[in-house]
Amino acid sequence: MKSIINYFKEIYFGLKSLVTGMRVTGHYITHPKEIITQQYPENRDTLKMFERFRGEVVLLHNENNEHRCTGCSACEIACPNGTIEIINKKVDIDGRKVKALDTFVYHLQMCTMCGLCIPACPTDAIKMANTFEHAVFDRSKLTKVLNKPGSKLMDGVK
Amino acid sequence: MDSTAIIFYFIATVMIVFSVLAVTSRRILRAAVYLLFALAGTAALYFMIDYYFLAAVQLIVYAGGIVVLIIFSVLLTSHINEKLDKPAWSKIIYTSLTLAAGLVLTLYTIYDHSFVTETSSPANVTVNLIGERMLSYGEGGYVLPFEVISILLLAAMVGAIVIAKRTPPKS
Amino acid sequence: MNALYDFSYLTGSIHEWLSERVSPHAVTIVEMILVGISFMLLFAILGIVLVYAERKVSAFFQQRLGPMRVGKWGTAQTIADVIKLLLKEPLMNKEADKFLFNLAPFVIMIAAFMAIAALPFAKGLQALDFDIGILYVAAVSSLGVIGILLAGWSSNNKYSLIGAMRSGAQILSYELSVALSLLTIVVLTGSLQLSVIVESQADGWWIFKGHIPAFIAFIIFLIASTAETNRGPFDIAEAESELTAGFHTEYSGLKFAFFFLAEFANMFIVSAIGATVFLGGWMPLHIGSWEGFNAVMDFIPPIFWFFGKVSFLIFMMMWFRWTFPRLRIDQLLTLEWKYLLPINLVNIVVMAFLGLMGWHF
Amino acid sequence: MEEIITKELESQEYFINMGPQHPSTHGVLRLVLSLDGEIIRNVEPHIGYIHRSIEKMCEHDSYQQIVHLTDRMDYLSCHINNEAVCLAVEMGLQLEVPERVKVIRTIIGELTRLSSHQLWWGVMGMDLGAITTFLYGFRDREMITDIFEETCGARLTMNYNVPGGLMFDIHPNFQKRTKDFIAHFKKKLPEYDDLLSNNVIFRNRTIGIGKLSKEDAISYGVTGPSARASGFSCDVRKHYPYSAYDKVQFKEVLRSEGDCYARYECRIDEMWESLSIIEQLIDNIPEGPFKTPTKAVIKLPKGEWYQKVETARGEFGVYIISEGQKNPYRVKFRSPGFSNLSALNHMAKDSKIADLVAIMSTLDLVIPDIDR
């Protein structure tokens, strides 16, 4: 007798649990306002990344096409993946040969976005930009030169 | 030749072709599938002469039941690349002789029998009638064969259980 | 019943129009072709609509939007998918049994076609009206499993084989429950003919008229038919987290589309059978003596009633699928043999008793 | 007669390759199954498909650089992995980090645990065939990743810890967002129970499946929720508290059944515990610096250090041998996934294929954690 009662109990509680589950999903199908999907390429204009988001390394330039990179290679050393290559040149300043930045090569394809280069920079020349659409058809496009052509060191940065 | 005859000959041809294929194919699962087509052809014939109940039973029992079981057992036992051995010539000869004898006997019976053409419409076989016949023990009742078949099925099930029940290896 | 909604006038006038012009044999052939074409069209539309519906419904269950890109609200998404499937290369395992591999999708499709032909869509809109209608549908729907078994075996893939084995065991056992739950209603109608069953519900649907046993039978039918169509939570034959894709792992392109389409067609068929037997088919909802209400209900064409009920049942099946986890093979069989079948048998006896005493409405 | 039947119908075991690409191995793990019908006779995991030799790479990197490699091991508990390395380096330097750092590390660590368990819950449901749970799990996880993104700058591989403290201070919105999340998730967590925990199908699929006794759990080195479900009290946070875990009240979740359902319940209850830990700390973040300044080039003195932490999967250990250089001489990670995987054969033997999927799910394997 007890087993028969248990049999029906099992059925009752089993069905009840199934209905409870269906109530949860039923709640969501009747509340389309709670949909969380974002229509990505359409919402590009309103999409705003958090300011700390690490998308890629950029070298900051001001309106006079000047940057703050002295070519000290601290970021190159801090980078665990060999993402950054600093190529330096010698320039004449007041008759003295001074080391200066020639090309700031950045290999985006090797970057793990760890952000170690940013605190390593003594002159705050680089920062992490919020861009995230890095897809390209040609891999060589991922290797970037970060200093703009003709740019030079900002005055007073050592 | 009216459309009924065309359909009849078409179904008959299909049945013959697939029956032959079923016994000649050396891949066992293909043979089972050819058998399925032959059985489905039989069902189609029944449909053609308005024996719907028989046709449905043919489909359920043979096509849906027996063939599925055959295929199922083939799935369990045979590998896809396995082919049956070519039968010995002696076997082929004996089988064809037996077949020929059977064919002669059947044809003789058919042509010897004078069929009476039914002019009135065929008796309406309703589900009610079938049900009553199946469970009646009077004249025209089929309750005895019905029950005997169930005993046969029971025996088959017991056999299957005995085979499936694995005896523990003797240590 | 509104005579305007009777399709037999339409079919009758087509028949007359043809008979005046061509010979009787040609009439038969032309009508066969017409019926065939209309069912193929129905199949194509069903496939496209149901796939879209499934994707949208599942999306809304999951707080997603679903397809949104192709066409307004993604309505053309399925068509794009069909084109993609048609253009795909039909791949085949080198060691596969080519004949059976190619045959399997067609077996499934033919079984679905044969079953769909017997459905009463509306008054006078039924291609085959056998007096053993339910038996016929049960018979042909049992053929579909052969396609699954063949697909699984001929792919020469162990995942497919396991899927086929599971499916065989599953469908063979759940057919019993489907048939028995339908028989519970047949006890009351006294006929297996689908059109008669629909007519018998003119004054009320069996699920209401048959008291609790009819309701229990309806629940069992819902569970068992979900299992018979191989849909979640009974999709153990596909079970993508265990067997990748089960019996159709090796299929691609059009042949895969056939399996896909057959799944939705089968879903439609079992829902239509359920709607016909339990929910009154194309009969409108009538409540006792509310004359005004009944007249309003009569005003809605029966074909809408039919498709509305079918959509309701299909939605229920989708709801199951997108809520529940999958059962294991032995639990599936336990559910059938330990719960559904005994309850079903007792239910039939109770129903027969009700029918005998005339306690139903 | 009987002998003939037994001999003729003797079943053959057959092999099936589950993976390296398979929906339920969650990565490139290859399991070679010996099957007898549906019943598993033997499971042999073949690993190494995603081996990147992280331990060897560490020998070339400075101590700051090692941290970001651990993100890529158990990527679902990346913050806790980072913390382990930082704690080991700080132990070597005998550096005391500010209280603020300890509290923030604890909060973010618990958030990581929550996000990992949410993902696990979704995937567990999906493995058992309930695809909807996957989306619900990710829905709630999204709020945590937003918190991480705002404060740490990344959603998955955060690299927020540095030896000596944190990379930057927490974002001003951090506390508010976290509190919003707690309020939201406390409402959603009962839904998890409705969808899976109490579901009759789910219970039948998990109760009594994949049993692991306490002794076996200890001998296989199983840790984390998987071991605590067998009654093995192994919570590092409780027994060897690090960061701010000695200041908070929390229960070590223990079960004794050792089956899939117990492991499931353990994780669900751990989510409640994590919520309570965060609640205790979130309003009490002490003011102060977010970092103890270190030298740009950290050189550990000659010696060996071992630090273990409790990740979402179990005990994660970092063992560093230093020769006094700026690079470690040898680094060894004790990853929980590897040891947990070793018990798989023991648990899955003589169960069905469907059970194997449930067992794998409740072990909560992350393949890069196993392969490193």
Mean pLDDT of chain C: 82
Give CA torsion, residues B143, B144, B149, B152, to 10 deg. Answer: 140
pLDDT of res. B168? 56
If you ran DSSP here, which 8-state letter would residue A109 be given? G
pLDDT of res. B118? 65
D interface residues, A as partner, C-beta within 8 Å: 61-62, 64-65, 67-69, 71-72, 132, 139, 142, 146, 149-154, 157, 159, 162, 167-168, 171, 191, 194-195, 198-201, 203, 296
Q: Among D201, D208, D256, D249, which Cα is nearest to D231's?
A: D256
Whether residue B171 has pLDDT greater than 60: no
Q: How many domains does chain C fold into?
A: 1
Least CB-CB distance to D153: which of A13, A14, A53? A53
The answer to whether the CB atoms of D194 and A23 lie below 8 A apart is yes
pLDDT of res. A33? 81
The highest-confidence range among A21-25, A107-111, B97-101, by mean pLDDT, is B97-101
At D332-363, the pLDDT tens digits run 888 888 888 888 888 888 888 888 888 888 88
Residue B20 to residue B38: CA distance in whole angstroms: 9
pLDDT of res. B104? 93
Looking at the fold, whether A63 and A20 belong to one and the same domain comes out as no
Mean pLDDT of chain D: 85
The answer to whether the CB atoms of A14 and D69 lie below 8 A apart is no
Residue C46, CA atoms < 13 Å, CB-side half-sphere: 26
Q: For chain A, what percent of residues have pLDDT higher than 70?
A: 98
DSSP notation for D100-161: HHHHHHHHHHHHHHHHHHHHHHHHHHHHTT-HHHHHHHHHHHHHHHHHHHHHHS-SS----E
If you ran DSSP here, which 8-state letter would residue C179 be given? H
The answer to whether position A134 is within a domain reads yes
The answer to whether position B100 is within a domain reads no
Residues of D within 8 A of B167 (CB-CB) are: 2, 5-6
Q: How many domains does chain B fold into?
A: 1
Looking at the fold, whether A62 and A125 belong to one and the same domain comes out as yes
Residues of B within 8 A of C139 (CB-CB) are: 56-57, 59-60, 63-64
Kindly state the tokens that stand for C22.
């061509």
Residue D309 to residue D369: CA distance in whole angstroms: 15
- The amino acid present at D9, given as its one-letter code, is L
At B149-167, the pLDDT tens digits run 888 888 888 877 776 665 5
Looking at the fold, whether A109 and A146 belong to one and the same domain comes out as yes
Q: Among D151, C73, D193, which Cα is nearest to A37's?
A: C73
Looking at the fold, whether A62 and A106 belong to one and the same domain comes out as yes
Looking at the fold, whether A64 and A129 belong to one and the same domain comes out as yes
DSSP 3-state assignment of A101? strand
User: Would the CA dihedral through A137, A142, A148, A149 be positive or negative?
Assistant: negative
The answer to whether position B63 is within a domain reads yes
The answer to whether position A20 is within a domain reads yes
Least CB-CB distance to C241: which of D127, D135, D195? D127
| Domain span at A9 | 2-37
Residues of C within 8 A of A35 (CB-CB) are: 60, 63-65
At D168-218, the pLDDT tens digits run 888 888 888 888 889 988 888 888 888 888 888 888 888 888 888 888 888
Q: Do residues D328 and D66 make contact, with C-beta atoms less than 8 angstroms apart?
A: yes
Mean pLDDT of chain B: 79
If you ran DSSP here, which 8-state letter would residue C231 be given? -
Domain D54-370: give its CATH code: 1.10.645.10
Chain centroid, CA C313 distance in Å: 10
Helices (H), chain A: 2-29, 74-78, 117-120
Q: Which residue has the higher pLDDT, B65 or D218?
A: D218
Whether residue C3 has pLDDT greater than 60: no
Q: Which residue has the higher pLDDT, B139 or A41?
A: A41
Q: For chain A, what percent of residues have pLDDT higher than 90?
A: 1
Residue C166 to residue C235: CA distance in whole angstroms: 10
The answer to whether position A111 is within a domain reads yes
At C191-236, the pLDDT tens digits run 778 877 887 777 777 777 777 888 888 888 888 888 888 887 888 8
If you ran DSSP here, which 8-state letter would residue B170 be given? P
Q: What is the mean pLDDT of residues D137-149?
A: 88
CATH number, domain of A105, equals 3.30.70.3270
Q: Which residue has the higher pLDDT, B49 or D99?
A: D99
- Model confidence band, residue B101 (pLDDT cutoffs 50, 70, 90): very high
Q: What is the mean pLDDT of residues D246-254?
A: 86
Q: Do residues C149 and B66 make contact, with C-beta atoms less than 8 angstroms apart?
A: no
Residue C147, CA atoms < 13 Å, CB-side half-sphere: 27
- Which of 3-42 (C) contact D at CB < 8 A? none
- The amino acid present at A38, given as its one-letter code, is Q
At A122-150, the pLDDT tens digits run 888 888 888 888 888 988 888 888 887 87
Looking at the fold, whether A101 and A66 belong to one and the same domain comes out as yes
Least CB-CB distance to C64: which of A21, A22, A35? A35
| Domain span at B150 | 3-85+119-165
Give CA torsion, residues C130, C133, C137, C140, to 10 deg. Answer: -30
A8 touches chain D (CB under 8 A): no
pLDDT of res. B105? 93
The answer to whether position C4 is within a domain reads no
DSSP 3-state assignment of C361? coil
pLDDT of res. C1? 46
The answer to whether the CB atoms of C63 and D126 lie below 8 A apart is no
The answer to whether the CB atoms of C323 and A32 lie below 8 A apart is no
Q: For chain D, what percent of residues have pLDDT higher than 90?
A: 0
Whether residue B139 has pLDDT greater than 90: no
Residue D280 to residue A103: CA distance in whole angstroms: 51
Chains touching A, CB cut-off 8 Å, 3+ pairs: C, D
Q: What is the mean pLDDT of residues A76-102?
A: 81
Residue D310 to residue D83: CA distance in whole angstroms: 10
The answer to whether position B126 is within a domain reads yes
Q: Among C209, C166, C155, C150, which Cα is nearest to C184's?
A: C209
Looking at the fold, whether A13 and A64 belong to one and the same domain comes out as no
- Strands (E) in chain A, as ranges, are 56-59, 66-67, 84-93, 96-107, 126-129, 143-145, 152-153
D131 touches chain C (CB under 8 A): yes
Looking at the fold, whether A20 and A98 belong to one and the same domain comes out as no
A88, β-bridge pairs: A101
The answer to whether position A49 is within a domain reads no
The answer to whether position B130 is within a domain reads yes
| Domain span at C270 | 94-357
Residue D46 to residue D27: CA distance in whole angstroms: 12
Q: Which residue has the higher pLDDT, D197 or B76?
A: D197
At C146-164, the pLDDT tens digits run 888 888 888 888 888 888 8
- Model confidence band, residue D5 (pLDDT cutoffs 50, 70, 90): low
The answer to whether position A107 is within a domain reads yes
Q: How many domains does chain A fold into?
A: 2
Lowest mean pLDDT among A1-15, C118-132, D222-236, D315-329: C118-132
The answer to whether the CB atoms of D151 and A52 lie below 8 A apart is yes
Looking at the fold, whether A60 and A131 belong to one and the same domain comes out as yes
Q: Do chains B and A touch (3 or more CB pairs under 8 A)?
A: no
The answer to whether position A32 is within a domain reads yes
pLDDT of res. B98? 93
At D260-304, the pLDDT tens digits run 889 888 888 888 888 888 888 888 888 888 888 888 788 888 888
